[in-house]
Chain A
Amino acid sequence: MDTFYYLVQNMLPVSIPLLLVALGGMFTERSGVINIGLEGTMLSGAFAGALFAYAIQGSGLSPNMILLICMIVAAVAGAIFSQLLSFAAVTMKANQVIVGTAMNMMMPALILLISKMTFNSDGVTTSVRYFIRKVPVLGDIPVIGDMFFKNTYLTVLIGFLILIISTIVLYKTKFGLRLRACGEHPHAADSVGINVNRMRYIGVTISGILGGIGGYFYSVGITDGNINGHNGVAGFGFLALAVMIFGQWQPIKIMFAALFFAFLRTLAYSVPLIPFLDNLNIPTDYYKMMPYVATIIVLALTSKNSRAPKAEGIPFDKSQR
């Protein structure tokens, strides 16, 4: 049972970045823009957040307060960085995949450059202890307390909060309906007076915000509040894309997909702690490959009835039909 708790406790902080970034990807794709640049967006948020945490870590604020402040900083950084995509893809009608690729190349170089010039290292190292050993009161609940409120981070709570908000925004608001219309049939949306380009700008910006927060939460929950330009976010931006596709562009399904991937990854990194798996004597690299192999298999199984937004990746041109 301890092993089970351990896995769940470790899985949740890993799943949150995937969840948030995949939700961000969902918002852009629902508006009709493909965001391959999520990896770069994550890095921008992670770097801005960690940098700000580094700046204010000595000011005596509590770690969770720092986390909230830096989360906002990361969101702003992600939103600004994502404008590179919206400007190119929406205004200039450029190839969205190329722009995303450029964004992914840009950010590691920028991080390495800034870090090497200012810290003479490959990234930012902070000393904020975000880790929460036990949440008061809630941590005492039997089973549930052990699973969700011990050895965890504030990020988990915020992550699920954002999931609920995203679901409501997408399905229960006028804005959500309009956003989805722009991704399915922009000309129909345009004909009833929706400003398609504006909606797409908003969609991309939301993904920037969520991507930035997701990136910062990656650095909080997985790399102890540090971030460097070489390892970056270890392909989480791309994994999030797979999570989004696996989740069929729907928030709740995306959550389950994120949990699934996070579980596989946690398993890969905690093999020595699980006697049953450790006794099998399989090299850990096999387990490290598993999330990626699983992605391919899962996509192969779900691709037949894919519910991708119909107009994604196609620049909106009013004069065409």
Chain B
Amino acid sequence: MQDKNGMNSKNEKKKITEIKGFSSFTSALMAIVIGLLFGFIVMLLANPSNAVAGFRYVLLGGLSRFGDVLYFATPILMTGLSVAFAFKMGLFNIGASGQYTMGMFFALYVAFMFDLPPSIHWIIAILAGMLGGMIWGFIPGIFKSLLNVNEVITSIMTNYIGMYLVDMLIRSNSAMYIPSMTRTQYVPQHVQIRSLGIAGSNVNFGIVFALIIAVLLYIILQKTTFGYELKATGYNKHAAQYAGMNGKRNIILTMVIAGALSGLGGAFAILAPSEIAGSSMTYEPINVIAANGFNGIAVALLGNSHPIGVIFSAIFISYIQRGGTLASLVGYKPEIIDLVIAVIIYFSAFAAIMSSAIRRIFANRRNKEALITEPQIENIEEDVGSEIENLEKNSNKEAE
């Protein structure tokens, strides 16, 4: 029995490099390492004397404020899930920003304009945010499915439309907006999401909801017919159509769900109680596209569009962002982190190719005996290499 177990574990060990999750993990890791190295080089160029200290903040700074890491991870986890979910269907939801902004607005509207019992008011506000995102995700969805308009362009356009629309609606609403402060009032206490009560941090129930939603999405994608249809359509649209799947309906549904996720992100962000000034509870209509939507794209790509992967990548990105903020203590600009994230995304686009090359090297080593041609060449090279080394040693000795 023991032998058998041993054999099994050996087989499993052999297979681990062949598991899909492993390869996407290694490729993400590789992209992260390259991105961080790049950040370190930028820091070295900017200010060599503090580079090590600054880089330490980036790498380890988030640990001391892990509550805040989770607090800032919540919205980008939601937008990341939104982008990832659409990716599974082969749709690129670049419109997460607009859906996120819409979610914020709907949540704010319910928070200020509705008079509800305090115990359910915040829940209704969150659901309203979801509704806002759904509406804004529906638009690219319906244009894509019925008129075959590229969803990338429409969702970029809905980003701008949503931003201008929300800014306008908020500015014209005297119950919410305080012109002298150019921002809305603060969300009343009873509409705020309940805090998790960890001292010295802003972490709240938003992250709990977000994690539950991520797991739910995983189940939907892996265990339901709908999830299967989505993935099938994502792999091969025509084959899915031929197999009788309703592509048009699924496109709309996917975009609506993606919108709902982004909208929830907006609601979680705006309704979160926080002591960091201006980071939540109030909206400033200054005609700027919400950055969290674009960060969501980064999160989704780094997480390989897998709901569980997205959880880790959201926390990771939030973590190095916190670290970047702390690096300003030694004189570095937090924009370095944005640059690092962009570099990570850039490399993650072809990290899969690099990692498959690495995997091939692994496989070659293992099958050295089985394969004849390539290992032989390697051996020859090794032989030549060792011969050269010997020659050098000899010549060195002679010189001595």
Contact = CB atoms under 8 A, between A and B. Distances in A.
A99 B349 contact: yes
A261 to B, nearest CB: 11
Contacts of B333: 112-113, 116-117
B350 A94 contact: yes
B157 A102 contact: no
Nearest to B348: A98
Contacts of B150: 245, 299, 303
A304 interface: yes
Interface in B335-380: 335-336, 338-339, 341-343, 345-346, 348-350, 353
B153 A238 contact: yes
A283 B338 contact: no
A167 interface: no
A306 B348 CA distance: 31
A95 B90 CA distance: 12
Interface stretch (A123-131, A141-149, A249-257, A286-294): A286-294
A283 B149 contact: no
A296 interface: yes
Nearest to A242: B153
B246 interface: no
A109 interface: yes
A105 B345 contact: yes
A108 interface: yes
B264 interface: no
Nearest to B146: A300
B346 A286 contact: no
Contact of A105 (B156, B165, B342, B353): B342
Interface in B64-83: none
Contact of A88 (B94, B139, B153, B346): B346
A245 B153 contact: yes
Residue among A93, A108, A109, A235 facing the most chain B CB atoms (10 A cut-off)? A109
Interface in A87-124: 88, 92-95, 97-99, 101-106, 108-110, 112-113, 116-117
Nearest to B343: A106
Contacts of B152: 36, 97, 241
Given A92-B353, A303-B147, A97 B157 contact: no
Contact of B288 (A101, A230, A285): A230
A295 interface: yes
A80 interface: no
Nearest to A112: B335
A292 B94 CA distance: 15
Nearest to B295: A105
Contact of B339 (A88, A98, A106): A106
B381 to A, nearest CB: 25
Contacts of A304: 147-148
Contacts of A314: none
A102 B288 contact: no
Contacts of B148: 303-304, 306
Interface residues of A, number: 45
A94 B353 CA distance: 8
A295 to B, nearest CB: 5
A135 interface: no
A109 B288 contact: no
Contacts of B289: 235
A93 B46 contact: no
A283 B335 contact: no
B92 A97 contact: yes
B301 interface: yes
Interface in A274-321: 283, 285-286, 288-289, 292-293, 295-296, 299-300, 303-304, 306
Nearest to B143: A300
Nearest to A286: B168
Interface of A: 36, 84, 88, 92-95, 97-99, 101-106, 108-110, 112-113, 116-117, 229-231, 235, 238, 241-242, 245, 283, 285-286, 288-289, 292-293, 295-296, 299-300, 303-304, 306
Interface of B: 42, 46, 92, 94, 139, 143, 147-150, 152-154, 156-161, 164-165, 167-168, 172, 288-289, 294, 297-298, 301, 333, 335-336, 338-339, 341-343, 345-346, 348-350, 353
Given A235-B159, A303-B147, 18 more contacts: A36-B152, A88-B346, A93-B350, A94-B349, A98-B345, A98-B348, A106-B346, A112-B338, A113-B339, A235-B160, A238-B156, A242-B153, A283-B168, A292-B161, A295-B153, A296-B149, A299-B149, A300-B149
15 contacts: A84-B346, A98-B349, A102-B345, A102-B349, A103-B342, A105-B341, A106-B342, A112-B335, A117-B333, A242-B153, A288-B164, A293-B157, A295-B153, A296-B143, A303-B149
Closest 7 CB pairs between A and B? A109-B338, A94-B350, A285-B168, A106-B342, A102-B346, A92-B350, A105-B342
